[in-house]
Amino acid sequence: MPRQPDPLRKPQLIADILDYLQDKSLASVSFRTIAQALGFSTYTLVYHFGTRANLLSEIVAAASTRATGIEETLQQNPGTLDVYFDGLFMSWAWTLEPRNRQLQRLEFEAALIEAVEPHQHTFSRALYETWQRIGQNALRSLGLSEADAALETRLNINTFYGIQYDFILNNKAAAATAAFELAMERHRARLEELVEASIA
């Protein structure tokens, strides 16, 4: 009977790989290069991840764990604008951390890989759908219609990604934060209009 992967070993491998990738590209990821850099056999990676595509998916998932915490907070406190925006500001604060800026860079790179290999990878689309689901559920709990919740969430995600791209590319935290805060101010004003209309 084959030996089962150690459930404690895999998270540590991912953590080590993310540290290794802080100044490297996802395009450079292979079982051989990672194994050589981190000092273990390629068999270890094959054993735990199976394929390079699976490894890339695990890397992107690990780089995006903040979604889980934000969703849990929204589920525990549904139906308030303050909690909804607390989650958005929490996510932005996460982005500003130097290490997380590099993790976000890996997320963007993964999306570009997926754009040219859509049948081999689905991690970035899955992440986008996760953010869409979290946002829609939160806005529906505020009273927005399904159509309004879907549209406002998509607009907000795209705005958020755009400002993150600015920060990753230019590394100007103050300028990117000013743009983020203005976007959130306008987003909140729009949501307040929609909430008021839903209860009128």
Q: What is the pLDDT of residues 57-103, one digit of tens each?
A: 888 778 777 666 777 777 777 778 999 999 899 889 989 999 889 88
Q: Is 150 within 8 Å of 131 (Cβ atoms)? A: no
- Per DSSP, the residues of the chain read -PPPPPTTHHHHHHHHHHHHGGGS-GGG--HHHHHHHHTS-HHHHHHHH-SHHHHHHHHHHHHTTHHHHHHHHHHHSTT-HHHHHHHHHHHHHHHHSHHHHHHHHHHHHHHHHHHH-TTT--HHHHHHHHHHHHHHHHHHHTT--HHHHHHHHHHHHHHHHHHHHHHHHH--HHHHHHHHHHHHHHHHHHHHHHHHHHH-
The domain limits of the chain are: 9-61, 64-199
- 164-193: average pLDDT: 97
User: Has this prediction a pTM greater than 0.85?
Assistant: no
| Model confidence band, residue 7 (pLDDT cutoffs 50, 70, 90) | low
Q: Indicate whether 53 pLDDT > 60.
A: yes
Least confident of 5-19, 118-132, 141-155, 185-199: 5-19
pLDDT band at 181 (very low <50, low <70, confident <90, very high): very high
Q: What does the pLDDT look like over 144-157, one tens digit per residue?
A: 999 999 999 999 99
Query: Region 156-180: what's the mean pLDDT?
Result: 97
pLDDT at residue 23, rounded to an integer: 86
Share of the chain above pLDDT 70, in %: 94
CATH topology classification for 9-61: Arc Repressor Mutant, subunit A (1.10.10)
Residue 1 clears pLDDT 50, i.e. is over it: no
